[in-house]
Structure 1
Amino acid sequence: MLLLLGALMPAAHATSWPAKPLNLLVGFSPGGGADTLARLVARQLSMELGQPVTVRNVAGGGGIVMATTLSQAEPDGYTIGLAANSAFDGMPAITPLRYQTDDFDYLTTVSQLQNALIASGKAPFASWDEMLAYGREHGLSYGSPSPITRDVLNLIAEREGIRIRFIPMRGGMDVINSLIGGHIDIAWSAGVHQAFLRDGKIRVLASLNEERLRASPGKPAIQELGYPMGYSSYFVLAAPAGLPAEIKQRLSAALVKASQSPRVAQLAEQRMGFPNVVMTPDEITRFVQRTAEGYRRQAAPDPTAN
């Protein structure tokens, strides 16, 4: 009888879920693109599930601090997190962390990031070539919320003979404010910069996606500039690994519906310039695993090296 009751308890727990409010951890500080999207998704998710969804900002390391916190939560469907996929696939592959890619259940995506190398509208350069010329003479300071983006600038520094100093940022708005305030020369943006293009406060130097950006079609993609790279990336919603199957199905379905809702799609597409790309759990899991494997191969020592 005790064994039977024990076997039935997880099923009963799944049937009663959600019985209390959910927590959505956001890997960036308030005010940026990820935070804005997360709060709207939280409202839509609350409507889908009939429970409040509390947003908690856990900034740092381009999502690493949030992912560390998320990995330690109970896999009961009450704690989920949002960050760029690099926090889940790239960073665990190239640096020792307290979590690994497989420590999460991947549920869906909200949008495709619009990665760009940007500068202040008052910067003494307005194009890629002008930036290189300025950097060779003066050096450059580079800000980004994600340590993984150092790889791009390290390659540029080596190839172009430029000294580039990395400055960690706590989120998209920290990047924007630091550029406008003249504290850094250039920065990586996942898309929050698009709100500042029209008034000229920010300018795009190059797209860091595999293609040109919708909002800046006149600016070249990094591959056009002779660099064999490009970053297709997404805002990912994930949970601690080990969710009961029924809870995972219901939670992911509710998140997909919330992320595809007209209000979220309109915010992403029209107001923020983020393509509203919403993946199924299988699609985003395959993408994260494939990307992580690529980073692991890249980080592996060359067996032919002396």
Structure 2
Amino acid sequence: MKQLLSIVVLACIMVLPSLGHSQEWSPKGSITLQIGFGAGGSTDIMGRLVAAKIEENTGWNVVVENKPGGGGIAMFSSLMREKADGQTLGLGVSMPIFLNLASRGDKIPFNIDTFDYLATIMRGEIGMVAKADAPYNTLEELIAYGKKQKGGIAVAFDAKPQQLVLEPVAKNAGVKFKFVKHKSGAEQVQSLLGGHVDIACTAGEHVKYIESGDLKMIASMSKDRQACSPDSKTLIENGFDLYLEPYFYIAAPKGLPENVKATLAKAFDEAINSETVKNSLLNSMQANAYNLGPEGTYTMMSQGAVDIKALVKAAKTP
């Protein structure tokens, strides 16, 4: 009996490692992380930062590709057609996706359930900013100034949601906004500092320029006021029930095998919560790393799409 028991135990010991090995996953070659915005902006910076940390932690090769267009719509439209093997991933921003789905969902080839979700990196804070010497300091003063300008106010933006939120502001305030499309927040700032536009709508890039005294915040476009300019009111406080609160998130084509999804989610979580990434986000954008994980990210995307659809509908109501 003892001999039989020993044989059974030995067999279990021999089988367990093979079972564990079958659950392991590593990429076959490079992982491609597609970023739905141009180089140099906040999304690009954080994507490359996290990719580098994953390479350091795992030894994988993570190739970053910029695929700008439509606030991430172009990149995700391409990503959905990739194999669900964990080799191609996408970094996007939630708000442009929500607003595009809410305003023209019938023209977009995907929806929230088209993808698997792995992580969030952080929540962004959108600021409406101007040059420090601009003749207006608040949204109220900007509107008054704009009404005196025959050509209106030139507004820099890099994603359609910024325009969709500010259009009802201009309409309700009786002022003309001329929207000037840019590829990134960094490009917006340079255009603003060069005097080519009157205001810009950036997601974090404005912080260091406010601290240096080159820019000032006209209004916070987030739900709350921002630490870099605590006296600047939100759009909501200015009487406009509108806001932008983007999450930067990682998605993959639908149908990832569970072991692939778990391995990738762990790799992203360890990178996002590393001291390197947390300190870099805090120093460069005054933002905290914020990972919701796979389930939390899916919940955020699902509920956010519903909330923004209602917000867009309300904004269109006279």
TM-score (norm 1): 0.89
Shift of 1:13: 8.9
Q: How does 1:143-292 map to 2 (within 5 A)?
A: 143-292=156-305
Q: How does 1:1-306 map to 2 (within 5 A)?
A: 15-95=24-104, 96-138=107-149, 139-297=152-310
- For 2:15, the equivalent position in structure 1 comes to none
Name the aligned partner's letter for residue 130 of structure 1: E
Unaligned runs of 5+ in 2: 1-19
Give the distance between the partners of 1:87 and 1:111, measured in 2 at CA: 15
* Corresponding residue SS for 1:106: strand
Q: Residue 95 of structure 2 contacts residue 244 of structure 2 at CA under 8 Å; is this kept in 1?
A: no
Give the distance between the partners of 2:135 and 2:310, measured in 1 at CA: 39
Give the distance between the partners of 2:21 and 2:218, measured in 1 at CA: 55
Name the aligned partner's letter for residue 274 of structure 1: A
Go from structure 1 to structure 2 and tell me whether the alpha carbon gap of 1:211 and 1:16 turns closer, same or farther (over 3 Å shift): closer
Number of aligned residues: 293
CA RMSD of aligned residues (A): 2.3
Cα deviation, 1:203-234, whole Å, max 9, x if unaligned, reads 11111111111111121122211122232221
- For 1:4, the equivalent position in structure 2 comes to none
Q: Residue 86 of structure 2 contacts residue 261 of structure 2 at CA under 8 Å; is this kept in 1?
A: yes
Q: Residue 242 of structure 2 contacts residue 311 of structure 2 at CA under 8 Å; is this kept in 1?
A: no
Go from structure 1 to structure 2 and tell me whether the alpha carbon gap of 1:297 and 1:268 turns closer, same or farther (over 3 Å shift): same
Q: Residue 96 of structure 2 contacts residue 160 of structure 2 at CA under 8 Å; is this kept in 1?
A: no
Give the distance between the partners of 1:74 and 1:289, measured in 2 at CA: 23
Give the distance between the partners of 1:174 and 1:163, measured in 2 at CA: 23
Give the distance between the partners of 2:225 and 2:312, measured in 1 at CA: 27
Shift of 1:271: 2.7
Give the distance between the partners of 2:248 and 2:164, measured in 1 at CA: 20
Q: Residue 25 of structure 2 contacts residue 263 of structure 2 at CA under 8 Å; is this kept in 1?
A: no
Q: Residue 256 of structure 1 contacts residue 278 of structure 1 at CA under 8 Å; is this kept in 2?
A: yes
* Corresponding residue SS for 2:196: coil
* Corresponding residue SS for 1:89: helix
- For 1:6, the equivalent position in structure 2 comes to none
Give the distance between the partners of 2:196 and 2:22, measured in 1 at CA: 52
* Corresponding residue SS for 1:31: coil
Unaligned runs of 5+ in 1: 1-10
Go from structure 1 to structure 2 and tell me whether the alpha carbon gap of 1:137 and 1:271 turns closer, same or farther (over 3 Å shift): same
Q: Residue 116 of structure 2 contacts residue 254 of structure 2 at CA under 8 Å; is this kept in 1?
A: yes
Give the distance between the partners of 1:241 and 1:59, measured in 2 at CA: 21
TM-score (norm 2): 0.86
Shift of 1:21: 1.2
Give the distance between the partners of 2:172 and 2:99, measured in 1 at CA: 23
